[in-house]
Amino acid sequence: MEKETNFNPLYTAKVMGVSGRSGHVKSSDGVIDLDVRLPKGMGGDETGKHTNPEQLFAAGYAACFGGALGAVAAAKKIKLASPPEVTVHATIGKEGEGFGLAVDIFVHISDMEIADVQALTEAAHQVCPYSKATRGNIPVNIHVN
């Protein structure tokens, strides 16, 4: 079932996955070319040399949220002394017959009052595409420090 977009597309990422959580993912441009394994906590990769969907999701969310922070700061004419540091924890767990995700986002911006970081973070959470996609679907908790 296809859904229409309510926006003017700017870019489409294309990534193919083979064999699920014990497989391989590769982007159409070859930039991403990674083996994927179950994480150790789920009975998988003991070596820690492979990625997993949760790491890839967290990486994408961290980059996207950082971009949203920068865009909101620029729109509000706020000069940031240093780039925002965004750390995302993506947690998977059993949920009924399947699995669920939960996300914690940690934001740090040097030389900025916590209240100002909080306000900027809340505004970024409203415009970040990952935040929009997850809103109402999974728990997303935001922490500033």
- The residue ranges of every structural domain in the chain are 1-51, 53-144
pLDDT confidence of 53, banded at 50, 70, 90? very high
State the average pLDDT over residues 43-66: 92
> Which of these, 88, 64, 100, lies nearest to 141 by C-alpha position?
88
In the numeric block, which tokens belong to residue 48?
A: 């820690």
Looking at residue 5, what is its pLDDT? 84
- DSSP H/E element including 58: helix 53-75
Fold of the domain spanning 53-144:
GMP Synthetase; Chain A, domain 3 (3.30.300)
| Residue 96 pLDDT > 80 | yes
- For residue 8, pLDDT over 80 is answered with yes
Q: Is the pLDDT of residue 46 over 80?
A: no
Report pLDDT for 2: 81
> What local confidence, expressed as pLDDT, does residue 43 receive?
87
Provide the pLDDT for residue 73. 98
pLDDT tens for 98-124 read 999 999 999 999 999 999 999 999 999
Tell me the residue ranges of DSSP E strands in 2-97. 15-18, 23-27, 33-36, 85-95
- Residue 82's pLDDT band, with cuts at 50, 70 and 90, is very high
C-alpha–C-alpha distance, residues 18 and 16, integer Å:
7
Q: What is the pLDDT of residues 26-43, one digit of tens each?
A: 999 999 999 999 988 888
CATH of domain 1-51: 2.20.25.10
